[in-house]
Structures are given as C-alpha cells and as structure tokens.
Structure 1
Amino acid sequence: MADDRELDRRSLLRGAAVVAGAAATMPLLGEAATAQPTGGDADALFKAGEFEQAARAYEEILKKDPKNVHAARQRGYIGLLSNRFREAESYLKTALGLAPGDKQTNQFLADCYTRQDKLSLAVPHWRATGDEVYARWFAAVRGEPYQIHGDTARLPWRGMDPFPLLEASVNGGPPKTFTFYTRVGWLGMSAKVAEEAGLTPVASQKIEYAGRTIWQYFGVLDSFTLGGIELRNVPVQWSKSDEEEPAGTHDGIIGTWVLYHFLTTVDYAGRSLILRRRTPETARKARADAVRAGAEPLPLWLAREHLLHSRGSVAGSGAQVVALDIGGTGEMAAAMSVETAKELRIRTDYDRPLESFAGGQPVVSYPCYPKEVRLGNATARHVYCYAGKSGGTGGFAPADTFAPAGTRAGSPTDYGFDVLAHFSHGFYKPYNVTLDFTDMNAYIARGKAA
C-alpha cells in the first residue's frame, strides 16, 4: 500500500478537496529505538502550541541530557516551523548524529533544505525517509531553482467561486488558467498542459485513488510567468488518469512552494493575487500597510513543507493554533471536528450531513454555526462552518481532526500539536491576507490591499 506521502501527491487539479479544513500532519516520532520521547512537560507545551515555551523546555532537557534525540529533534522542529533555518539545522544535525537512521529527523532536514532551495542537500534526506520519488525529482534540478525575474505581479482573478482563478504562462505559451491553494505544495498542472510545454518526467509513480489508477509525473519546468514575474527552473508535477478526464475549469494549481518565495498578498476583497520580491523594503511596507489598515501581526508557522498555521479562536475558545487554508474551494468559513463543536457548544445540524470525499476517502461533515470565528481583528459571526467526524477522543482540538487531502482514512495525521480549526476560503472574502515568510507573520486586513 502507498504510504502517506505518496497519497499526499494525488491530483488536486479538479478542486476535489471539498472538506478544505483538513489537519494535514506527520508523525511526531521517528522509528529509531534511540529516539523515544522524554520530557513530558516540553511535549505538553508543544502539543498546546506554546512553541517558544516548549523550545526553552527542550533546551533544559538537552542541558541535562545532551544525547536526548527527541529533545534535539523537537527543538529543531520548532525552529523549522518559523523558518529559523540555522537554528533548525543545528539541532536537527545533532539529533541525526545521535540517531542517523531516524526517519523523522531526516524528513525535517529534508524539509529545511527544500525551503531554502538547497535541493541537492535535501536529496539524501528524502532518500533516507524512503521517499525515492522526491529524491529523484530534486536531484534532477540543475542549478538554482525558483529563479525570480521581475519585482511585482498583481494578478486579477477571473472568478472567485468555487475557487479563485488567474492566468499564467507555461514555458512562454499562451495564458492558462490556474488556481492556488496553500494545502498543496508544488506547482501542478494537467497532463495536457505538461505535454504542450514539452515536459519530460524525471520521476513517476502509479497510485490507486478513489477507485482510479493515476500516474503521477514529476519534472522541471523552464519558465512559469505570473504577470510581471517570471520563475525559472521550477519543480512541477502533473497527473494522468486511466479514465478520460472531463474538461476542467482550470489547467493547474499553484501551491505554497511557489507562494513562499514571495511576499504574498491574497487579496480576496480586491480579487487579486499580489506577489512581491522578499526584501527588507517590501516587508517594511507590508507591515506599515497592515498597521494603517488596523491589522495586527499574527504568527505564521509552516509545517510539513507547505501547511500554514497561525493563532485564532472559535466561539470563545481563546487563541489557539489554527490552520490557514488559503485559496482552494469551500463555502464554509472554518472547519473543525465534531468533538470541538460539542466542547464549545456550537450549534450543529446533524440532520443535514454532507457526504463527500477528501483525499479519495469518504468524509461526513455537518453544518455548524459558531457565534464567532476570529483571526486577529478579522472576524465572522454566526457564519456557516463544518464539523467533521474524526478519530479524536474529544477536547478542543484532536490533532487528527480530519484526514488531509491525499491521506488514507485512519492513517496517523498527528504532527505533534493540536489544531483548533481550519480557516477556509469563505472566511477570507472581506479581507486581504499578507504572508510574510521572512519574518513569519500574517496580516489580515479588511478591504482591498493597498
């Protein structure tokens, strides 16, 4: 059976992630016997999303026990969540030196190097996790990936629902219609677009998904143009099914790997995607614009290579870790587990279940209507949300709230911290959202972006 990472690669080009509030996660613990967890207080802080306090607690453990693999790995993971790469590398290398075969440490290091575009350094760590597809894919990238030419792009949307649509050019060809979604990592496109662009796969795999056989192909794109910005030497994925695919509403999907190379503003209110080079000047301007618009800086954490998190609240829960599912599809403002809805006494309509699919697996969710969902100063009140069945045992935020898009039902989805809810497409419509991947802050302001 394919593992979770293989299943994560399944095609999302048809906007199939109906339950967008999925807690995409990875196992906290590695498989090496030397990497068993210790330090319950530190782990409890981490699970609660108190990452800086947890970091100090893991450091105290390491002072007393420098060979504690779990503490070193977790301390490196905390650095990685905030893109503090030197810090992350230092602790993760310590952990790997103590337990060279630990798959979780190798995966964190692979992620760390991938985010920095050091793909050749990431390759042996992907291979050590058993991910030969990623290893072959990234080994085929010659020179600097994601080379940026141009400074700014403002891309108007051709539509808003069921997902935002914009135009981009592949290898200098005519405009193609793309959507974007932060629950997808790579740049993906249809097999037809890949063929027109002359792409040659450097890696491939065959998977079974929702009763169909799908071939996934991985290659390197010469040029991807988004308005006034051109990206060169871009890792790209495309898929082909054994069934004839109906003509879709879009030709591809832009994932977080592209978006985190820029100071990105997703301007829902202004119906545009704004990309700017990540420089100190653009970051300062983004902060100043956000302050003038009344937006407070929110922490931004990046887990499992591409999944965005911050702090928010639901129905008076108090600020907790939430997922930011930006782009994609879904009429709901937020998604949470049934257990969370019950704990917070949120009105839930169990008489009207929504039976759908996420990641190729059947999912049942129910309409619910919290009094308020909040991200900083951005709020939605008595708005339509989902409460989904989960494998959790109760509490505000079982970490396996839903199976993420591309993950088989029942598989572990715990990457170590609880997620209260997932804020989705419907929540952001009155706002613009700026993602600063340098200082790792998110700004959500009402109205159009400046």
Structure 2
Amino acid sequence: MADDGKWDRRSLLRGAAVVAGAAATTPLLGRAATARAAGGDADALFRAGEFERAGRAYEEILRKDPTNLNAARQRGHVGLLSNRFPEAEKYLTMALKLAPEDKETNALLGDCYIRQDKLSLSVPCWQAAGEDSYAKWFGAIRGEPYQIHGDTGRVQFEQTDPFPLVKASVNGGPPKLFTFYTGASNLSLTSTVAKEAGLKPVVSQEVDFGSGPVWSHYGVLDSFRLGDIELRNVPVGWSSTKSGEDVDDDSDGMIGTWIFYHLLTTFDYAGRQLILRRPTSGTARKVRADAARAGAKPLPLWLARDHYLHSTGSFAGSDPRVVGVNLGGVGEIVAGLIGETAERLGVRIDHERPIGTAAQSHPTTAYPCYPKEVRLGDAVAKEAYCYTNPNQRVNVPWPYGTGFDTMGWFAHCFWKPYNVTLDFTGMNLYIARGKAT
C-alpha cells in the first residue's frame, strides 16, 4: 500500500505476485476428489489437472450423449489449454450449437479466435459473453494484428528488482521503460505515452482501481519495437484518472502475455535480457537443441483464461502437480502457496509477520512461509522465502477462475539463476540454469 493509503501500481503488482492465479490456485485434492479423479470422473479429472485423461472422459460422454453441453464445452477447453486450435474449435462450436447464448462457451471460443489472430471472428463471441469492450476493441482492428518484422531481438534488463525493466520504442519514438508480466494480458501504456504516440481509444470504460475509479482505454498501436523485433498493428490499452493523468509512473507501460505468445521468448534472468524470436520451425528446433545441450527437459505449458501460464511443479516434496508460472512482475518471493496447501504440506508459516497487500485491487493479508523445497523440472530453490494467503478460495470456476487445481505459483525471484523459454507452438516450457546461449 502506498504511504498515502492508496493502492499504487507497485502494490497491485505485488498483490498479483502474491495471488496471481488466485482464482485458479487450490490446495491438494481431498480424498473424495482424488477418488473421483482416479475413477475417471471427467470433471474431477479436469479439476485435478489431468487434462488428457479428462479429454478422453469427455469424449466418452459425448459418444453416449452428443447433446451434453458441459462435456462439449469442457472438451474444447482441454484443447484450448494446449493451443490445439482445430480441436478446441470443433468442440466449442459443438457446444455453441447446443447453447448459442452460453457465456462460458462464447468466452472460450472468443479466446480461441484471438490466440489465432482471428479477431473479427471473436467479436460475436465476446458480445454473447457480455464482454462489450472486447467486442468493440477487436472489431475496430483492421488487417493482420501483431505483424512481426525482424527475426531476433535482444533487450537488456535496465533493472531486475523490484521488477524488471526493458527498453522499447512506441510508434518509432525514443526508447521507453517497460516492465513485463505474464500475469497481465495485453500490452499496456501510461496515459502520457499513449498521448505522445497519438493514440485514440476505440472504446473506453470506467473501472474500480482500488483507490477509486479510473478510465481504461483500448486502441491500436502502429508499432512496438523490442531491439530488432518490431510488432505492428498491436492491440493496446492504457489507463488514466478522470482528469486524464497517469494512474502510475513506475514505468512507461507493461508487456503482457499476448505479446509473448506471438513470439518465441526466452526470459534470460541469469543473463539479464529478453531474447525474442520469430516463431518458426527453425527457431523452435534451435531452442529444443539448446535446451537439450543444457540438460533442460521440456515441461508442459498450459495457457488458461487468455493469459495465465501453468506447468507442472512441486512444493515441499509433493508429487508434481499443476502450478502457476508468473514471469516478471514485482516482489521479493520465490513462490506462493495458498493457505490450505501450505498447511497440508506441513510448510512452516510465520503467522507473526502478516503482510498487507492487494488481490484483484482489494486489500488482503499474506504470511511468509518457508517450504523445504520448491521445484519446477530440475530448477530448485530450498528453504526459500515464499508467501501464503489463507484467505484465497480453494477453487473458483468460470467466470473468475480456471476451474482446475494448482498448489501454488512460481514468482519473480525463483527465476533469477535461470533462463526460461516459452514455446507456444509446441506448448513446452524449458528452464535451464545460467545464461542463455
């Protein structure tokens, strides 16, 4: 919280680091849920993060009952988590025929379209889902979005703590300082930078920022350059106070997941740089080869709710389970666990040191905790400083959560000894110690 009692951007980012994916972060399954998942119940398998098994179970339901809306929608959801677009479209379209006004199906299909840059096709889906701002925003974009110019760009971290900053150019202007965070969706700017770039909103809406109402604006950016990689025709957002001033001034903007899933990106924390590549078959082969030489095995990558990243990891010696992956952002923690998960795993919690922070723009309290080990593939941190938030709900389904279970999430400080590459075509995550080659 800021000194004046208002929630500033850093507080909100720290809150996001504490509870990012809070809606999707749940403890270990209870006995009943575990038994149902083991027995093949499709919804229980999905909640447990057994996505492939859940997909097969939903298909079996549909073979017996082709009119089962939940099975069709969830089977499409399984495909969407892994960016298997033909599969996702097949089943989500099936679900839409069964219930054309179903908001959840429309939101999932809208997400499926925007991931493929089929923005115009997403418009009726967002309208039916009740997301009028998205419908107007994507409906106003003409031509191919996210046009990639250049093959490889490298941008150095100008700082790493309390959050990383890199330089980028907006509409050909002088370099600006941007933070990045995979807990955010679109590229965003400050109001000042948006004005300098000559941006005009195609849609605006008033939202509650925690300290009071602000205006969120959405438009289209001609050019965004990171090193030798340039993206053109980019959906962009910015916020302003009622008087038109910047909501915050910690940076000139934030790069979210939508930018990164259009590229083959290495978050080279150890080398203090971002490496951005055009996602071709050749660059993907090189990434796999580099990872193999570094001894990094491919980990699964799932994308939920349009920007939340997940893979498999473990806490305090648990079996590998679905975990959140938050690259960038702000904070001093290595990882976060929700209270019940920490309690069940016997993690030491310091209840004498409550930490006031924010979650989804609202105040909450977290506590330091110290798992004996947190692990993502072969990347490990031992006796690390983490947070746990006992106030998080154990499972929040749509429209506020993903509906599947995770034990926690990996945060900013976990990545510092490593380089991490996200391959959104093969849907794999590679993590290796040391600088990227």
Please state how far the C-alpha of 1:209 moved relative to its aligned partner.
Answer: 2.1
SS at match of 2:41: helix
Matching of residue 440 in structure 1 with residue 427 in structure 2: yes
Structure 2 segments unaligned to the other structure (5+ residues): 1-6, 25-38
8 Å Cα contact 1:335-1:386 kept in structure 2: yes
Q: How does 1:325-404 map to 2 (within 5 A)?
A: 325-392=326-393, 398-400=394-396
Identity %: 60
Q: 2:82 is matched with which residue?
A: 82
Cross-structure match for 1:16 = 12
2:408 corresponds, among 418, 421, 425, to 421
Distance, in Å, in 1 between the alignment partners of 2:415 and 2:338 is 20
Within the alignment, does 1:225 sit opposite 2:225 as a pair? yes
On the 8 A contact 1:184/1:255 being kept in 2, the answer is: yes
Q: Which residue of 2 aligns with 1:69?
A: 69
1:304 aligns with 2:300: no
- Is 1:431 matched with 2:418? yes
1:103-139 deviation per Cα after TM superposition (whole angstroms, max 9, x unaligned)? 1000000000000000000011001111110000001
Unaligned 5+ segments in structure 1 are 1-10, 27-38, 393-397, 402-410
What TM-score does the superposition give when structure 1 sets the normalisation length? Answer: 0.89
Aligned positions, number = 414
Matches within 5 A, 1:173-322: 173-242=173-242, 245=246, 248-322=249-323
| Letter in structure 1 aligned against 2:395 | A
Deviation at 1:399, TM superposition (A): 2.8
Q: Where does residue 30 of structure 2 map in the other structure?
A: none
1:24 is displaced (CA, Å) by 5.0
One-letter amino acid of the counterpart of residue 101, structure 2: G
Q: Does the 8 A contact of 1:391 with 1:400 survive in 2? A: no
SS at match of 1:341: helix
Give the distance between the partners of 2:160 and 2:10, measured in 1 at CA.
15
Q: Deviations over 1:160-183 (max 9, x none)?
A: 001110100000001000011001
Shift of 1:25: 4.5
- Check whether the contact 1:13–1:252 (CA below 8 A) recurs between aligned residues: no
1:54 equivalent to 2:54? Answer yes
Deviation for aligned residue 1:317: 1.3
Deviation at 1:40, TM superposition (A): 7.7
Q: CA deviation at 1:373?
A: 0.2
How far residue 94 of structure 1 moved from its aligned partner, in angstroms, is 0.4
- Alignment RMSD: 1.8
Tell me, in whole angstroms, the C-alpha distance in 2 between the residues paired with 1:265 and 1:102: 37
Q: Are residues 25 and 143 of structure 1, via their aligned partners in 2, closer, same or farther at CA, if it must alter by over 3 Å?
A: farther
Q: How big is the shift at 1:93?
A: 0.4
Check whether the contact 1:13–1:190 (CA below 8 A) recurs between aligned residues. no
Q: 1:345–1:184: structure 2 CA closer, same or farther, 3 Å change rule?
A: same
Q: 1:400 to 1:91 in 2, by over 3 A?
A: closer
Q: Render the CA deviation track for 1:336-367: whole Å, top value 9, x for unaligned.
A: 11111100000000000001122220110000
Task: Write the distance in 2 (CA, Å) between the matches of 1:13 and 1:179.
Answer: 12
What does residue 3 of structure 1 align with? none
Amino acid at match of 2:76: G
Query: Contact 1:187 / 1:254 at 8 angstroms: preserved in 2?
Result: yes
Contact 2:239-2:246 within 8 A present in 1 as well: no
User: Tell me, what secondary structure is at the counterpart of 1:435?
Assistant: strand
Match of 1:158 in 2: 158
Instruction: Give the TM-score taking structure 2 as reference length.
Output: 0.92
Deviations 1:212-246 (CA, angstroms, capped at 9, x unpaired): 12011100001111110111100000000247658
Match runs of 1:5-44 below 5 Å: 14=10, 16-19=12-15, 20=17, 21-23=19-21, 25=23, 41-44=41-44
Q: Write 1 or 2 for the structure with the bigger share of helix.
A: 2
Contact 1:23–1:400 under 8 Å retained in 2? no
SS at match of 1:248: coil
Amino acid at match of 2:417: P
Distance in 2 between residues matched to 1:218 and 1:346, nearest whole Å: 43
